[in-house]
């Protein structure tokens, strides 16, 4: 360890105690040169305590800590509870680095569920080496909460420099200290830190973090015992701690059983949500931290519930105690020090997440205080420069008295005049530039909405069946991407939940109420009068005609099934169009318009049939097929007068699998045409065609669109 290394204090205040570590860097490790553990005079979560009484207890613990430790000029990092703060992780689009702060500020206003002026917030870029996308973490806490928190430290003259969320401090600890994090981000380590009132669940990989605060802690077990045995909180807590040796051990654990069950369910629910949103990532192990897991049987219950390897660390890998630190004391409080450890790493500049929720006003005052010595030095330099300038002026005045002074003055006047002339010409050119700027802006406005139509196509494609919407047939969609005909045909064609889009026609409209669908040979719509009471629903948007076909037998269920409610796994194409905000996390700029009115929304379907003039164009590939047929000469039950005929007919086939997809006559096992009781040939219906006419309100256009046609866009997309 180099002499004079910078040291920091990290303080974590919980409901039961104050935990503090003094750290300094020692090569690739960190050395603990100070350790303190101060129990509160009362548990902060005890019943009947007011906010003022809680603050007095915290200040008393801080006073005890400050009285027996020398803080000096060390930086101090503190934590705030996860349930009192806000964290959200989003992915940024590819942009220039200089525009990243501006985009993050815009996202912060959208993501933080409070007025941006009422919170302290910060952000942290979290790039992944194997991904082109950049993830950013946004963290916030309300001003009034952080101010009350800092008042307790100010009252004891503790100068705070770093404020971090407890879950992010746990991630900083894991990312620096634990060697079992997978570099490929394929295996995650789960941290569970149980306190008195809640539990921080933090899922860590080398590059990413996900956290959730579970509102169940050690006090929940205590209250369950208190309710079962009719005891006050303090006696119930004492009974809980002595449960293993109590003669009522069975009754005690029976009373706590509902809390065990609820806690296990919350952990399972959190792990399940993470797995569903992070495909390909599995869990390597679960690390249990915090005093709450001292409860006998809880660790084993969590292991049985999650089926994960559960460990409770007995040492830190990269933290070593200095000579004056008791190894036994460090070991006894090890599982309570993970948050303080992560805070200290951030203050030393060794942590992955460096966001700071310290109010900016306080941070600026501290920065000015640190720079005061530089201001004194700068003032001294300025004074010296002024004296030198005064000396130079006196020398110049003496020089003007010689015989060449007149010619020098004339030369100076000539240079000054030349400079004034150049400045005048510069102003003239600058005045001319304003006109060019207006012309450039007018030309560039044409491209203002160039991304709207591609975005609309993306929205439509997200509504059709795919691996995310229908995971049960994910292998089918993957087989189509790879062109694997064998895997495709292994699934009966009429069971395949697929949609082949042959055309998409999109047209912009200034008024959706007054707009009509594009006229075609199948469109018989007429102009619709706009009622006065409907105008408030009107807005700018797009009329859309989507055509295509599907092999799925029950095309109605594929489009708009009834009675699905909020079950997203059963939603159809139209159901998803009605719930675009659900699909795009509340950020969809489009909304389905007036689905209940036929003049604004219609859907047509029918069997794929070459002879059907209503069928959209572009379905399948046309083939000529020759086959021998037996044509019956009578109705059912009459004598068989069949005759063999070689027929040539046109058929439509799937362009990839070569399966017939159109409507044909039904044949029996001998190749004869089947007839119904009325003598009409029976038909086999295969694929179904569809045509969706819909209107979508453009929410951005409604508030910020331009009536001069700048946003007017249309597109026709044909694909299969």
Whether 11 contacts 340, CB under 8 Å: yes
For the chain, the average pLDDT equals: 84
List b or e across 377-406, with b for residues whose CB sees 16 or more CB atoms inside 10 angstroms: eeeeeeeeeeeeeeeeeeeeeeeeeeeeee
Query: Which residues share a beta bridge with 288?
Result: 192
pLDDT of residue 525: 44
Average pLDDT (83-97) is: 86
Q: Which residues contact 693 (CB under 8 A, 6 or more apart)?
A: 517, 523, 543, 544, 545, 601, 602, 603
438: helix, coil or strand? helix
When pLDDT is cut at 50, 70 and 90, the band that residue 439 belongs to is: confident
Q: Flag the least confident range among 293-302, 633-642, 691-700.
A: 633-642
Q: Flag the least confident range among 154-168, 196-210, 575-589.
A: 575-589
Domain residue spans of the chain? 1-178+317-369, 180-312, 371-401, 403-447, 459-464+499-612+691-717, 621-686
Which sign, positive or negative, has the C-alpha torsion 593, 595, 596, 600?
positive
**The token pair that represents 698 in the structure block:** 């453009």
Fold agreement between 1-178+317-369 and 180-312: yes
Question: pLDDT for 529-547, tens place per residue?
Answer: 555 455 557 889 999 999 9
Average pLDDT (643-657) is: 76
Superfamily of domain 180-312: ATPase, nucleotide binding domain (3.30.420.40)
Tell me which of 3.30.470.10, 2.40.160.210, 3.30.420.380, 3.30.70.270 is the CATH number of domain 1-178+317-369.
Answer: 3.30.420.380
Q: Residue 502: in which H helix or E strand, if any?
A: strand 500-509
- Does residue 2 register a pLDDT over 60? no
Question: pLDDT for 334-357, tens place per residue?
Answer: 889 999 999 999 999 999 999 999
When pLDDT is cut at 50, 70 and 90, the band that residue 527 belongs to is: very low
When pLDDT is cut at 50, 70 and 90, the band that residue 701 belongs to is: low
- Does residue 410 register a pLDDT over 60? yes
- Does residue 630 register a pLDDT over 60? no
What span, in angstroms and rounded, lies between the C-alpha atoms of 376 and 378?
5
Question: pLDDT for 590-617, tens place per residue?
Answer: 999 988 888 999 999 999 998 888 999 9
Average pLDDT (464-483) is: 91
Query: Which residues share a beta bridge with 37?
Result: 19
58 to each of 14, 18, 37, 195, 221, how far by Cα in Å? 9, 8, 13, 16, 24
What span, in angstroms and rounded, lies between the C-alpha atoms of 452 and 283?
40
Of residues 297 and 430, the one with the higher pLDDT is 297
Q: E strands, 291-392, where? A: 310-311, 319-321
What span, in angstroms and rounded, lies between the C-alpha atoms of 645 and 640?
15
What span, in angstroms and rounded, lies between the C-alpha atoms of 547 and 506?
12
Average pLDDT (177-191) is: 88
Average pLDDT (685-704) is: 83
pLDDT of residue 521: 39
Question: pLDDT for 226-261, tens place per residue?
Answer: 999 998 888 888 888 888 888 888 899 999 999 999
**The token pair that represents 455 in the structure block:** 């975005």
Q: Residue 452: in which H helix or E strand, if any?
A: helix 452-463
Query: Which residues share a beta bridge with 38?
Result: 18
pLDDT of residue 484: 92
When pLDDT is cut at 50, 70 and 90, the band that residue 1 belongs to is: very low
CA 437 to chain CA mean position, Å: 38
**DSSP-derived secondary structure for 252-315:** HHHHHHHHHHHHHHHHHHHHHHHHHHSTT-EEEEEEEESGGGGSTTHHHHHHHHH-S-EE--SS
Q: Residue 236: in which H helix or E strand, if any?
A: helix 233-241
Question: pLDDT for 260-292, tens place per residue?
Answer: 999 999 999 999 999 998 888 899 999 999 988
What span, in angstroms and rounded, lies between the C-alpha atoms of 222 and 228?
10
- Does residue 714 register a pLDDT over 50? no
Whether 283 contacts 204, CB under 8 Å: no
**DSSP-derived secondary structure for 160-224:** --EEEEHHHHHHHHHHHH-TTS-TTS-EEEEEEEE-SS-EEEEEE-SS-EEEEEES--HHHHHHH
Q: Which residues contact 193 (CB under 8 A, 6 or more apart)?
A: 166, 170, 199, 200, 202, 289, 290, 338, 339
pLDDT of residue 214: 93
pLDDT of residue 435: 73
pLDDT of residue 192: 95
Query: Which residues share a beta bridge with 500?
Result: 549
CA 276 to chain CA mean position, Å: 14
């Amino acid at each position: 360890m180099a002499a004079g290394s910078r040291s920091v204090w990290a303080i974590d205040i919980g409901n039961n105690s104050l935990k503090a570590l003094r750290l300094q860097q020692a090569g690739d490790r960190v050395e603990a040169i100070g350790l303190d553990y101060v129990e509160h005079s009362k548990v902060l979560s005890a019943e009947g305590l007011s906010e003022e009484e809680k603050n007095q207890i915290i200040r008393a613990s801080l006073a005890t800590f400050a009285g027996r430790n020398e803080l000096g000029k060390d930086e101090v990092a503190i934590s705030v509870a996860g349930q009192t703060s806000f964290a959200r992780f989003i992915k940024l689009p590819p942009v220039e680095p200089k525009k990243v702060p501006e985009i993050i500020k815009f996202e912060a206003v959208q993501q933080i569920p409070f007025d941006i002026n009422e919170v302290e917030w910060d952000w942290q870029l979290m790039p992944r080496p194997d991904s082109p996308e950049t993830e950013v973490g946004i963290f916030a806490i309300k001003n009034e909460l952080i101010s009350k928190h800092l008042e307790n430290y100010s009252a004891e003259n503790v100068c705070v420099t770093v404020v971090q969320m407890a879950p992010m401090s746990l991630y900083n600890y894991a990312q620096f200290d634990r060697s079992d994090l997978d570099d490929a981000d394929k295996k995650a380590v789960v941290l569970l830190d149980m306190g008195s009132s809640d539990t921080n669940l933090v899922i860590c990989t080398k590059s990413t973090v996900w956290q959730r605060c579970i509102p169940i802690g050690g006090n929940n077990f205590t209250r369950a015992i208190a309710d079962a045995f009719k005891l006050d909180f303090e006696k119930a807590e004492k009974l809980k701690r002595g449960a293993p040796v109590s003669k009522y051990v069975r009754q005690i654990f029976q009373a706590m059983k509902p809390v065990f069950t609820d806690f296990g369910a919350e952990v399972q629910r959190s792990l399940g949500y993470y797995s569903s949103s992070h495909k390909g990532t599995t869990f390597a192990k679960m690390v249990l931290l915090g005093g709450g897991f001292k409860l006998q049987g809880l660790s084993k219950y969590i292991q049985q519930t999650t089926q994960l390897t559960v460990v409770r660390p007995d040492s830190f890998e990269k933290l070593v105690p200095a000579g004056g630190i008791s190894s036994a004391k460090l070991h006894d409080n090890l599982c309570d020090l993970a948050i303080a450890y992560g805070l200290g790493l951030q203050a030393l500049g060794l942590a992955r997440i460096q966001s700071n929720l310290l109010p900016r006003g306080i941070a600026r005052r501290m920065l000015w205080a640190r720079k005061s010595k530089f201001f004194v030095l700068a003032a001294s330099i300025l004074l010296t420069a002024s004296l030198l300038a005064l000396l130079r002026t006196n020398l110049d005045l003496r020089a003007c008295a010689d015989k060449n002074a007149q010619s020098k003055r004339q030369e100076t006047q000539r240079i000054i005049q030349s400079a004034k002339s150049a400045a005048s010409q510069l102003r003239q050119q600058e005045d001319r530039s304003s006109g060019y700027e207006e012309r450039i802006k007018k030309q560039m406005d044409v491209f203002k909405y160039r991304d709207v139509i591609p975005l609309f196509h993306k929205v439509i494609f997200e509504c059709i069946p795919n691996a995310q919407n229908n995971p049960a047939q994910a292998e089918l969609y993957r087989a189509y991407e790879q062109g694997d005909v064998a895997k495709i045909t292994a699934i009966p064609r009429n069971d395949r939940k697929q949609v082949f889009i042959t055309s998409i026609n999109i047209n912009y409209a200034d008024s959706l109420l007054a707009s009509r669908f594009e006229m075609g040979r199948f469109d018989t719509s007429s102009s619709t009068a706009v009622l006065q009471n409907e105008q408030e629903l009107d807005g700018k948007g797009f009329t859309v005609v989507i055509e295509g076909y599907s092999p799925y037998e029950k095309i109605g269920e594929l489009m708009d099934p009834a009675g699905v409610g909020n079950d997203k796994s059963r939603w159809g194409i139209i159901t998803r169009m009605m719930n675009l905000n659900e699909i795009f996390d509340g950020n969809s700029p489009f909304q389905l318009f007036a689905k209940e009115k036929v003049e604004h929304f219609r859907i047509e379907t029918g069997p794929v049939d070459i002879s059907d003039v209503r069928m959209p164009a572009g379905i399948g590939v046309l083939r000529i097929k020759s086959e021998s047929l037996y044509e019956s000469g009578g109705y059912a039950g009459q004598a068989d007068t069949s005759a063999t005929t070689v027929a040539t007919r046109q058929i439509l086939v799937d362009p990839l699998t070569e399966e017939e997809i159109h409507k044909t006559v039904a044949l029996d096992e001998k190749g004869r045409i089947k007839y119904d009781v009325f003598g009409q040939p029976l038909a086999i219906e295969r694929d179904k065609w569809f045509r969706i006419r819909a209107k979508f309100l453009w929410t951005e256009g409604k508030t910020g669109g331009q009536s001069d046609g700048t946003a007017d866009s249309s597109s026709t997309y044909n694909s299969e």
